[in-house]
């Protein structure tokens, strides 16, 4: 996907990018490739693939969910190189984003990147998600929490749902559909105060690769003991 194809494909979804935003994505790509030579940020460095599999893919979250709400607070757990939150922030500059990542090198990259891109209302936290979710300053304070991670849904739910405020939403981005994974996570999601309301299938342009967005509404407060201490959600997932 060339930058021009990226722009035209988004227009079909009702997202119109300005020249400034296109320039921000171009700079994002350049800095991603430069930093990737120093620290491992992504296995994808080909320009067309970055625009399709990172930038466009990140923005699929906004195809059916309104991201223009004034004062929207979004938290991206385990963001890595800033996906999906930085592309969303470029397109919807009024939102406030918080990125939580356990590797300080990635936070340093994101600090320099967001400064150079001229993005405000960006908060970067070097923390384990388990510790962040137990911090009373951030717990149950976000409208939207998202994770574009390889962890199974019952693990992601424990890391993310404690951060979602009641009435908010957890959006899990998955590369493959798995009814087994959804079934496995059902009890954990309910225990943590969530309810699965939709499973949305998205087809990427050009390659027609499938992506899945699982929408989970926060119906009630998460019990105080969750998330458990760092490492436990992965070692002993809720089932």
Q: What is the pLDDT of residues 128-160, one digit of tens each?
A: 999 999 999 999 999 999 999 778 999 999 999
Domains of the chain: 67-222 (3.40.50.150)
Average pLDDT of span 39-56:
96
Binding-site sequence positions: 78, 83, 129-130, 148
Q: Give percent of the chain above pLDDT 70.
A: 100
Q: How far is 185 from 179, CA to CA, in rounded Å?
A: 10
Query: How confident is the model at residue 22, as a pLDDT?
Result: 98
Pairing of strands 142-147, 122-126: unpaired
Q: What is the mean pLDDT of residues 93-106?
A: 96
The predicted pLDDT at position 228 comes to 96
Per the annotation, binding residues for S-adenosyl-L-methionine are 78, 83, 129-130, 148
Q: What pLDDT does residue 151 have? A: 87
64 pLDDT band (50/70/90 cuts)? Answer: confident
Strands 164-174 and 142-147: parallel
131 C-beta neighbours (distance < 10 Å), count: 14
Using pLDDT thresholds of 50, 70 and 90, give the confidence band for residue 31. very high
Q: Strand 210-218 and strand 164-174: pairing?
A: antiparallel
Distance from the Cα of residue 215 to its chain's centroid: 13
Check residue 179 and give its pLDDT: 85
| Predicted local distance difference test score (pLDDT) of residue 82 | 96
Other C-beta atoms closer than 10 Å to the C-beta of 121 total 14
The pLDDT of 94-98, averaged and rounded, is 97
Cβ of 88: how many Cβ atoms within 10 Å?
Answer: 23
Q: How far, in Å, CA of 168 to CA of 161, rounded?
A: 9
Query: Of 23 and 151, which is predicted with more confidence?
Result: 23
pLDDT band, very low/low/confident/very high, at 175 (cuts 50, 70, 90)? confident
State yes or no: pLDDT of 195 exceeds 90: yes
Residue 217 — pLDDT band, cuts 50, 70, 90? very high
pTM over 0.85: yes
User: What is the band of 172 on the pLDDT scale with cuts at 50, 70, 90?
Assistant: very high
Cα–Cα distances in Å, from 157 out to 37, 222, 233? Answer: 32, 11, 9
pLDDT at 142: 98
Q: What value does the mean pLDDT take over residues 172-179?
A: 87
**Mean pLDDT, rounded, for 4-16:** 97
User: Over 80: is that where the pLDDT of 231 sits?
Assistant: yes
What is the C-alpha separation between 90 and 24, in angstroms, rounded? 7
């Amino acid at each position: 996907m060339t930058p021009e194809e990226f722009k035209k494909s988004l227009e079909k979804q009702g997202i119109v990018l300005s020249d400034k935003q296109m320039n921000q994505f171009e700079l994002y790509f350049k800095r991603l490739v430069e930093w990737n030579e120093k620290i491992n940020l992504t296995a994808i460095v080909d320009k067309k693939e970055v625009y399709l599999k990172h930038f466009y893919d990140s923005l699929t979250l906004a195809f059916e969910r309104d991201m223009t709400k004034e004062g929207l607070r979004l938290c991206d757990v385990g963001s890595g190189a800033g996906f999906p939150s930085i592309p969303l922030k470029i397109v919807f500059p009024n939102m406030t984003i918080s990125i939580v990542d356990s590797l300080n090198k990635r936070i340093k990259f994101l600090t320099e990147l967001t400064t150079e891109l001229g993005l405000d209302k960006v908060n970067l936290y070097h923390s384990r998600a388990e510790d962040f979710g137990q911090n009373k300053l951030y717990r149950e304070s976000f409208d939207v929490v998202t994770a574009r991670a390889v962890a199974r849904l019952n693990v992601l739910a424990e890391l993310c749902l404690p951060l979602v405020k009641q009435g908010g939403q957890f959006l899990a981005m998955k590369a493959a559909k798995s009814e087994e994974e959804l079934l496995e996570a059902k009890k954990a999601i309910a225990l943590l105060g969530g309810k699965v309301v939709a499973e949305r299938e998205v087809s990427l342009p050009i390659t027609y690769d499938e992506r899945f967005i699982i929408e989970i509404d926060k119906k009630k407060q998460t019990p105080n003991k969750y998330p458990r201490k760092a490492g436990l959600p992965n070692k002993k997932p809720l089932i």
